[in-house]
Amino acid sequence: MGGCVPKCTTPELLSIEQLLRVRARLESRKRLTEELKACFNLALSEFSQEPLCIQENARMTIQSGTTVLVFATGKQENEISIFYLNEEVQYNIKITRWDASAARVCSRVIVKSVAEMVSYIPAEWLLETLKNMVQLGLKSKFVPLGWLF
């Protein structure tokens, strides 16, 4: 039997507790390489800082060498990848909703103003939100003048 874990076909539940359990299980079976351990350490460190709206709605893939582990929760709208490449661990996240992106910025950065916070949100999301606000105002026959300027 080889020293790697076969690719996971059914995702494990994504939570801090489950990440710890899987890491401990791999370690007890002598399948936790130094690279994979580094991936788990970064996953635990970074994922624990993510806002709940991301933690409860994500798909995480941890990959080191031939080992690929998949964890998932909620609708899996956010994609997190942790991988070992060129002797360095990488943590990448793809967020699909602007509100989750804003929550992430607010949880990780000390924002000095609303304008600074808005600068972290992609322009297309801001335009879509503004469009929805105006449409909602028109439907209710009430459009505050501040929304139009």
> What is the domain partition of the chain in residue ranges?
12-94, 109-148
Provide the whole-model pTM.
Answer: 0.68
Q: At what angle do helices 34-47 and 16-28 cross, to 10 degrees?
A: 170
Q: Rounded to whole angstroms, how far apart are CA atoms 78 and 55?
A: 9
Residue 38 CA to residue 82 CA, distance in Å, equals 10
Please list the pLDDT of the chain residue by residue as tens digits (149 residues). 344 444 556 899 999 999 999 999 999 999 999 999 999 999 999 999 899 989 999 999 999 988 999 999 999 999 999 998 888 999 999 988 877 887 887 776 655 666 666 666 667 776 777 777 666 666 655 555 554 44
Task: Count CB atoms within 10 A of the CB of residue 140.
Answer: 8
Backbone angles phi, psi at 86, to 5 degrees: 50, 45
Backbone angles phi, psi at 69, to 5 degrees: -120, 135
Cα–Cα nearest to 39, from 58, 67, 17, 59: 67
Residue whose C-alpha is closest to residue 21's, from 44, 42, 54, 46? 44
